[in-house]
């Protein structure tokens, strides 16, 4: 009987070993990255916002500037609602936190504004900074209790006793009438200047009354003929840094009602990143695109036009070795549908039949989205609203039906700030409801070919001279958009056209032909819009921790276990002698005096860089 029990135990043990051998996915992953602190991580920024609201809403202009400025510095940005302030484990995935009380950034509703904050939220923010994080705070953050009580009215000041953020700002705050004062100084190390106009009559605001910390740097001051008071502060607290701004509008562009130019706001964010890296001895930079490309480039077409116009457009793209993304609806004629299916081009949805989603409720939007999937017999990954008119319920339907990206909010930095050339996740809000989503916004060009070439619809004025003139203007717009709006911020150029217009004849098609040739001369990543969305989503989720040992730099990759992306690129400050990866491809690349390491990134990956 004993021998039988021994045999049974042996067989059970062997079975256990065989089961584990056949199920390698069940083995624990290498999670050594979890032991590192946030101040060892390549910078990742978090913006707390519910600022996407209303029919015509886009991101607040200052957040667009932040996205583009951080992208240029190799910092990914994630947008989240204030709920994350109650979730320290999730908050610590990031090391730069931006809180703004300006209307539209979080929201203008007093019930949700960041000026209303519990002590627990502020204590979590305090711990975030002391553990190595960077806080960029506008005015009045946490001034009010959640029940609406003004802490200043109750206690006359914000200090250690009633305001946990006082510990990281290093000051006591009281309210002063700043009538007649201006702010002099700067948000960065550039030449100081007046950065706020003279305050209006009876302008009361919070001002540092006493300074606790010996590690404060005063970056700007309130000044008048007789007095000066601190206005913008930077304080070292624990392992981290806290910036306190006299006004959230210092991060909003002056041409949109804020106080500073886009350039000066970008310089501030650049200084924040450089200060973090210098303080933590980090000399690496995460590049925004794979294989050290400077920007991404994709051609997207809204399905509209005659068969001959499609053939002309697709012939050009095939010759250029570019795969276009086609956004389709239920109105696409059968002959065109057969052509697109035959060509096996990536297709995305524009909904089935409705041309204005703002007239639909959630159920109607969902049905129209699903009906188009049934008509095309596929589950789409991407969506573009008809006439690029986004809608809250339509966006919610996309989230609930697991769409990966949306491409309607046109980006435009040539005439004014609208949309973002940096892909980002969407936060949705309506009537007091808000939701942070993984739906990526990959913005197309603000003006499409219809804007310039719509005259081809009119046979009376469809003559050669008019078309040449319109095409030349369109060609110039596309080149300027690439040169001045996309390249400086290492963004994504998403062409938006229609075979009916750009492919109308041999003249109109030259605008796209010239653009493609121009993009190919640059260090561009020519790909599809879906690939752009996937890459940026994965990059946003991954974490990169830096460890230095003697003459080696070690990069540990962390993040959700289902995330993996190839050809991630990190810039290094000098030529490495050798680079090793735990698994997958790794190579070095040089361009001019710059050196890059390109590798497959996934949680558990580890790179060793030898100098």
Does 97 map to a domain?
A: yes
Same domain, 443 and 566: no
pLDDT attached to residue 18: 47
Residue 33 lies in a domain: no
Residue with tokens 């580890």: 606
* pLDDT score for 550: 84
Q: Of 532, 552, 569, which closes a domain?
A: 532
**Non-local CB neighbours of 162 within 8 Å, separated by 6+ positions:** 151, 154, 155
Q: What is the CATH number of the domain that holds 251?
A: 3.40.50.880
Q: What is the pLDDT of residue 106?
A: 82
Together in a domain, 573 and 516: no
401 in the same domain as 364 = yes
Name the burial class of residue 432, with classes exposed (0-12), middle (13-18) and buried (19+) by CB atoms within 10 angstroms of its CB. Answer: exposed
Residues 575 and 517 in one domain: no
Residue 426 lies in a domain: yes
Q: Is there a single domain that holds both residue 273 and residue 314? A: no
Q: Residue 1: inside a domain, yes or no?
A: no
- Residues 459 and 514 both lie in one domain: yes
Q: Which of 160, 234, 247, 161 is nearest to 203 (CA)?
A: 247
pLDDT of residue 2: 44
Number of domains in the chain: 3
- Looking up residue 381, the CATH number of its domain turns out to be 3.20.20.370
Q: Name the domain boundary from 226, 255, 285.
A: 285
Q: pLDDT at position 191, please? A: 79
- Mean pLDDT for each consecutive 10-residue tract of the chain (611 residues)? 49 48 46 80 95 64 96 97 94 96 75 86 97 96 92 94 96 95 87 89 93 94 93 96 96 91 94 96 96 97 96 97 97 94 95 94 96 96 94 94 96 91 93 89 96 80 82 97 96 97 96 97 97 97 93 93 94 93 91 94 94 91
Predicted pLDDT at 128: 97
DSSP 53: B
Q: Is 517 part of a structural domain of the chain?
A: yes
Question: What pLDDT is stored for residue 16 in this prediction?
Answer: 47
Residue 291 lies in a domain: no
Q: Which of 514, 532, 550 is the last residue of a domain?
A: 532
Residue 8 lies in a domain: no
Residues 70 and 96 in one domain: yes
Q: Would you call 557 helix, strand, or coil by DSSP? A: strand
Q: Supply the pLDDT for residue 376.
A: 96
Three-state secondary structure of 110-140: CCCCCCECCHHHHHHHHHHHHCCCEEEECCC
Asked if 470 and 556 sit in the same domain, the reply is no
Q: What phi, psi does 582 have (nearest 5°)?
A: -60, -40
* Same-domain status, 501 and 554: no
**For position 58, what pLDDT does the model report?**
74
Is residue 441 a part of any domain in this protein? Answer: yes
The answer on 430 and 305 residing in a single domain is yes
Q: Is 165 helix (H, G, I), strand (E, B) or coil?
A: coil
Are 326 and 304 in contact by the 8 Å Cβ rule? The answer is no
Task: Give the domain range for residue 595.
Answer: 542-610
Structure tokens of 43?
């910078």
Token readout for 143 is 């001034």
- The reported pLDDT for the residue numbered 432 is 76
Same domain, 278 and 305: no
Regarding whether 561 and 507 lie in a shared domain, the answer is no
């Amino acid at each position: 009987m004993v021998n039988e029990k021994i045999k049974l135990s042996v067989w059970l043990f062997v079975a256990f070993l065989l089961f584990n051998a056949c199920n390698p996915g069940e083995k624990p992953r290498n999670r050594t990255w979890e032991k590192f602190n946030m101040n060892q991580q390549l910078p990742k920024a978090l913006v707390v916002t519910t600022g996407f609201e209303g029919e015509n809403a886009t991101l607040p202009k200052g957040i667009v500037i932040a996205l583009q400025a951080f992208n240029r510095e190799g910092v990914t940005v994630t947008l989240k609602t204030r709920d994350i302030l109650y979730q320290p484990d999730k908050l610590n995935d990031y090391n730069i936190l931006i809180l703004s009380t300006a209307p539209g950034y979080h929201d203008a509703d007093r019930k949700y504004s960041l000026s209303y904050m519990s002590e627990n939220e502020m204590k979590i923010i305090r711990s975030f900074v002391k553990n190595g994080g960077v806080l960029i705070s506008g005015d009045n953050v946490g001034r009010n209790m959640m029940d609406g009580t003004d802490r200043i009215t109750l206690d006359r000041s914000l200090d250690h006793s009633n305001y946990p953020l006082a510990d990281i700002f290093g000051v006591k705050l009281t309210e002063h009438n700043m009538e007649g004062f201006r702010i002099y100084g700067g948000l960065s190390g550039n030449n100081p200047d007046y950065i706020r106009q003279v305050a209006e009559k009876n302008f009361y605001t919070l001002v540092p009354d006493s300074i606790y910390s010996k590690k404060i740097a005063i970056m700007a001051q309130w000044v008048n003929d007789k007095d000066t008071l601190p206005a913008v502060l930077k304080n070292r607290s624990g392992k981290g840094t806290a910036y306190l701004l006299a006004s959230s509008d210092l991060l909003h562009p002056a041409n949109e009602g804020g106080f500073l130019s886009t350039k000066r706001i970008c310089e501030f964010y650049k200084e924040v990143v450089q200060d973090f890296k210098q303080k933590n001895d980090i000399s690496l930079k995460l590049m925004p695109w794979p294989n050290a490309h400077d920007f991404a480039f994709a051609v997207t077409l809204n399905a509209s036009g005659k068969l001959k116009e499609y053939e002309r457009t697709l012939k050009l793209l095939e010759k250029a070795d570019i795969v276009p993304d086609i956004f389709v609806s239920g109105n696409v004629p059968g002959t065109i549908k057969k052509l697109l299916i035959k060509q096996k081009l990536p297709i995305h949805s524009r909904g089935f039949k409705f041309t204005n989603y703002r007239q639909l409720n959630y159920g109607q939007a969902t049905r129209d989205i699903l009906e188009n999937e049934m008509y095309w017999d596929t589950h789409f990954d991407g969506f573009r609203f008809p006439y690029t008119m986004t809608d809250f319920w339509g966006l919610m339907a996309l989230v609930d039906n697991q769409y990966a990206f949306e491409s309607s909010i046109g980006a435009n930095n040539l005439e004014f700030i609208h949309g973002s050339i940096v892909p980002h996740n969407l936060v949705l809000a309506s009537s007091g409801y808000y939701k942070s989503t993984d739906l990526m916004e990959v913005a197309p060009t603000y003006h499409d070919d219809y804007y310039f070439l719509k005259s081809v619809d009119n046979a009376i004025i469809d003559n050669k001279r008019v078309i040449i003139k319109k095409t030349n203007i369109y060609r110039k717009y596309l080149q300027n958009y690439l040169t001045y709006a996309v390249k400086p911020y290492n963004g994504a150029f998403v062409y938006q056209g229609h075979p009916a217009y750009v492919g109308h004849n041999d003249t109109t098609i030259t605008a796209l032909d010239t653009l493609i040739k121009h993009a190919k001369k640059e260090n561009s990543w020519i790909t599809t819009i879906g690939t752009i969305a996937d890459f940026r989503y994965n990059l946003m989720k991954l974490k990169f921790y830096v460890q230095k040992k003697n003459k080696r730099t070690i990069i540990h990759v962390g993040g959700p276990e289902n995330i993996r992306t190839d050809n991630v690129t990190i810039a290094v400050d000098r030529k490495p002698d050798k680079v090793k990866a735990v698994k997958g491809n790794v190579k070095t690349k040089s361009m001019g005096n710059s050196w890059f390491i390109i590798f497959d990134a996934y949680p558990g990956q580890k790179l060793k860089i030898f100098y």
